[in-house]
Structure formats: structure tokens, C-alpha cells
Structure 1
Amino acid sequence: MSVALTLRAGGRPLLIPYVMAGVVPDWLDLVRGAARAGADAVEIGLPFSDPMLDGPTVQRAAALSAARGGRPRALLDELAGLDLDVPLVVMTYANVAMTLTPGRGVGGFVEHLASVGVRGAIVPDLPLEESAEYRARAAAAGVAAVLLAAPVCGDDRCREIARASSGFVYCMSSMRITGERADLPATARETARRLKGMTGLPVVTGFGISTIAQAVEACADADGVVIGSVLMRMLVDGAPVAEVVEEVAAFRRALSSGHLSPAGG
């Protein structure tokens, strides 16, 4: 399954919910439910002790996963056999990628992702200049190497990132860690507009997309959005998986119609 081709299907704004692997015992039910609720892909986070881009909510989710005994490789193995109609994209850090399969480096990492059905990876702390081997190994394994572009990146840098990325280009809404925000930063739309003029890949905005109104606004320029902290906050605060799935469905309804739905708030 090609991430880029699957994401382009249908012509509607793309919705990619984020799920921290192992955050609750029935986390796989959330992955399945999100797919049924209309997600175009599901981003799977792996718990890590030093997450440079994760805000407090995602860190709490990672701590819950770790406290339950969650370890990256074992959590990835739980994805095997899910057989979803949408691609899974793993988000993790270079330390995990390099050590997931001892002695095999990034090649072993992406091959393991492919073996459990994952079709994309985001490794935000791996510099572009040091990513050539990772991107080549990922391509050989059939795993899209999704790269991030930040608002501070100049046009030349954005072009390099867009050219090197596969699957889609992840547009950071602002120069801040993940977490819920009161408003959509102006940099979100401006950066998405710039990237859209540089690539034929989908441009997906994330980091701080906290409400349905913000998601609809972001998609005026981007091809889609990632929603994470708002969903993880619900889980860590004790909401059942079914309630979180309904929140995903509310985002889907609003993005598909292009305006706020009554159920979406």
C-alpha cells in the first residue's frame, strides 16, 4: 500500500489522528476505530524517554505506556495483522530507530516496520544531511520517509525537504512542541502555502491542531491535518476509547463538509 497514493484518494482533506502505542490496554481498538471513523492514515507514536518535540500531553501518554511495560519493538509487533484499509505511519526518534534491531541500524528499523504492516515513518530528530541511508533503506523496504518542514525553514531548505520526503510532507504549524493551542498560528497556513508550491506530495499540517475549527482553517491551505494532543488528553484523563473515536469522527465530518458540524463543537 502506497502512503502517498492512499492519502490522495477521494479528494477530501486528509485526517491523520495520532495514537501513542500502549497508552491504554485497548489502544489497538482506538487505531481500528480511527480508521473506521474516516482517518486517512493513523500516526503511531512510540514511547521514548527524551522526546524533544513532544509536549506535556504526549509525554504523559508515553509515561503511561512505559508504566504498563510498553517497549517500542513489542508495541510495533502488536500492529502485525491489523489489516486496516489505511496506512500506519510510525513517529519515533533516531535513538529508537538506530537501536530497535541491534546491529542492523536504520535498515533493520524500516524492515521491521514493513514486516508488521507499517508504511511510513517520521524521525524528526534525524537531520536531513544525515538521512540519506535511512531514506534509501526505507524506499527499498516500501516505507515512506516523511520529513518535517518548519516555519523557520527558508524556501531553499523547504524545497530540499520536500524533494527528499516521501508519502507526504509534514508541515509544522509553529516553532513549538506538540500540545493544544488556543488559536492556529499564522505560520501554519503560510508554511503550508509555501510547501504546496514546491511539491506534488500532500502537505499535512500538525503540531497544535486542537479544535475542529482550527483543522478546517488549516486545510484552507494544507491538504490535511494531524491531530494528536487533543485525543491523547482525552485518553490520559480517562475517556473511553469509544469517546475518542467519536472525536475523530467529528473531525472527519467537519473536514469532509468544509465547515463545523453540530456534533463537532
Structure 2
Amino acid sequence: MSANTVMDSMAARGGDTAGPSIPEQPLGLSARPSPTGSRLATLAGRDEPAFIGYLPYGFPDPDTSPRAFETLVRHGVDIVEIGLPYSDPVMDGPVIQTASRQAIAAGERIEGVFRAVQAVAQAGGVPLVMSYWNLIFHYGVERFAARFADAGGAGLITPDLIPDEAGEWIEASDRHGLDRIFLVAPDSTDERIRVAAANSRGFVYAASRMGVTGERATLSSSPRELVRRTRAVGADHVCVGIGVSTPAQGREVGSYADGVIVGSALVHTLLDGHDSNAASARPNSLDALAATTEGLAEAIHGARR
């Protein structure tokens, strides 16, 4: 109730309205600590980088998808990126594009992603959603934030949304205690990195290279320098993704980053185990995903030993 409402009520009852007024307070701001930052801090206390795994929601089919996310968590993934498939994925490489098309064809809808969020949270992982901004905007920013938080979501990665244009999302995420993860790239200016770091909550996503996602045989030295630059302007946590696909690469990146993000290698594993002519994934596809996840987890978590 505002100060004016209180004073009007007192006046209607003949009460004394003299004296100090009651200051209005900000409404709807959450005091919830950063779920992602808290998990990263716990791992840092053990000198371990986080393993962050990505899969598109609804892939390879609606029934298998929640079980795939649970498989990631149970076999070593700390933080899960749940991708919202999009018909025009400009930053995604061919592997993730194929999986996204498969999910859309199987009937994936944004309403169902909250089931995947709950599956990750119940399995003990930190659930993030990675989405192109157009999907969230058309769904309704406040509506998405409220549903996402209620389902146990931690935060949102927005690869095509920059902080300068994110006012509505910043307000909604503050209101619901959700993390905001913005991206920086090797060619980002120091000022652009500073703005991303100042407005991120949870971690800053450092893209290892320019271009689309996908598996790569080797990594350049640019992500290490990008992590250094991002920390220098005040970022608490910096995680590296795009192109990291093997245990050796995960170990290398984990030696200097707070978290290692792997997507295409996990998606590829499920693609290889899925029969596109069948109604669901092959029975051994989740076993293959578990094995790939465990190999990456062992290398990433042991990167500094």
C-alpha cells in the first residue's frame, strides 16, 4: 500500500495525517541469490570448473527430451542449457540446426520447455534456457519470466540480445530473481565487454571464436585472452563455449575458465543414436549420451589437478 493510500484512508476515518509520510518502496524485486553464480562459486571452492551442457528442448522427440536432460545431470553436467528451437537459428551450426528442425517437426512448443526446466532442477542441475530473443518477446517477457521462475529456472542466455536493448528483460529478471547471461566475443571492444559484464548475472558467456556453433578439431588462444579481458573489467564468472567438443579441449579450457560449455558434441551423440524413421530415439541413445557426458565431465572437472 502506498503512502498516499495510507494517508487517504486515515483522512477518511478522521485520523491525524500529520507527521512523517511513509516512503514508497520498490515493488517486486527478488532477493534470491544467483542460482548459477552460487553453483559456480561452490565448484570454485573445490577448484573445479563447471561443466555446462546444451541440448535443444524437444529433441530427439518430446518423450525422450526430459530424460536426455536428466541424463546430462546424472552423468556429470552441473549447469544445463535448454535450447529453445528456432526456425531461423543464425548462430547455430548444422548439427544443432538439424536437431532443432527435428524438435520443431516433432511438435516442440515453448509451453513445454518448463517441463524440461523442472526435470533438470529435480535431478539436481541448474537449469538455464538459451533462446533467441524473438521467441521470448512474442511469448511475453513478464509471462515467460514468471513461468520460468515458478518451474525452478535459474536464468536466460540471450545470444542475440545486447544489454543496451535488454531493459524489459533486465527489469523482469530482477523481479523474479533470474540470471542474465550476455555474450562477448574475441573482437568485442573493452567497453562492450565492460557493459556485458556489468549487466550479466550468473556468468558472462565468452564465445571462443566468431561464427556459428559446431565441433572443432582445435581451439585457438583467443578464448584464454577473452576470459582475461572479461575478468579485468569486473566479471565474477566467465564461461567459454562454441567449438569445445572433446575431453582434451574441455580440459584445456577448464584450466582457465570458470565453466566449459559443450553443445554440438552432445547433440551429435543423440543424433547418431536416433532413428529419424522411428517415433522415438533408439533405446541405446541415452546410454551413448551418458558415456559421452561422463568422458567430458571427467576431463573438465579434473582440468586443474
TM-score using structure 1 length: 0.91
Matches within 5 A, 1:139-154: 139-154=174-189
Secondary structure, aligned partner of 2:267: helix
Task: Give the aligned length.
Answer: 256
Aligned to 1:182, which of 214, 217, 237? 217
Hey, what's the Cα distance between the residues in 2 that align with 1:209 and 1:33?
20
Residue 53 (structure 2) aligns with: 17
Hey, what's the Cα distance between the residues in 2 that align with 1:109 and 1:94?
12
| Cα-to-partner distance string for 1:41-62 (whole Å, 9 max, x where unaligned) | 1000011101121111101110
The higher radius of gyration belongs to 2
2:255 counterpart of 1:216:
no
Aligned to 1:158, which of 193, 197, 205? 193
Query: How far 1:223 moved relative to its partner?
Result: 1.1
Contiguous gaps of at least 5 residues in structure 2 = 1-33, 275-284
| Cα-to-partner distance string for 1:226-252 (whole Å, 9 max, x where unaligned) | 100011011112260121122111111
Query: How far 1:132 moved relative to its partner?
Result: 1.9
Contact 2:194 2:233 in 1 (8 A): yes
| Cα-to-partner distance string for 1:192-219 (whole Å, 9 max, x where unaligned) | 1211222342110001101111111112
2:178 is matched by which residue type in structure 1? V
Residue 229 (structure 2) aligns with: 194
Contact 2:66 2:115 in 1 (8 A): no
Residue 127 (structure 2) aligns with: 88
| Cα-to-partner distance string for 1:146-203 (whole Å, 9 max, x where unaligned) | 1111111111211110010001110000011100111112211111121122234211
Query: How far 1:136 moved relative to its partner?
Result: 1.8
- Between the aligned residues of both structures, percent identity stands at 33
Over aligned residue pairs, what C-alpha RMSD do you find? 1.8
Contact 2:57 2:116 in 1 (8 A): no
Hey, what's the Cα distance between the residues in 2 that align with 1:34 and 1:8?
20
Contiguous gaps of at least 5 residues in structure 1 = 261-265
Residue 301 (structure 2) aligns with: 256
Contact 1:30 1:242 in 2 (8 A): no
Hey, what's the Cα distance between the residues in 2 that align with 1:218 and 1:43?
18
Query: How far 1:117 moved relative to its partner?
Result: 1.5
Hey, what's the Cα distance between the residues in 2 that align with 1:78 and 1:179?
23
Residue 34 (structure 1) aligns with: 72
Query: How far 1:78 moved relative to its partner?
Result: 4.5
Aligned to 1:119, which of 140, 147, 154? 154
Secondary structure, aligned partner of 2:117: coil
TM-score using structure 2 length: 0.79
| Cα-to-partner distance string for 1:10-34 (whole Å, 9 max, x where unaligned) | 3211100101111123121121121
2:202 counterpart of 1:167:
yes
Hey, what's the Cα distance between the residues in 2 that align with 1:90 and 1:149?
18
| Cα-to-partner distance string for 1:75-132 (whole Å, 9 max, x where unaligned) | 33453365232210000111100112xxxx3122211211222111011112221112
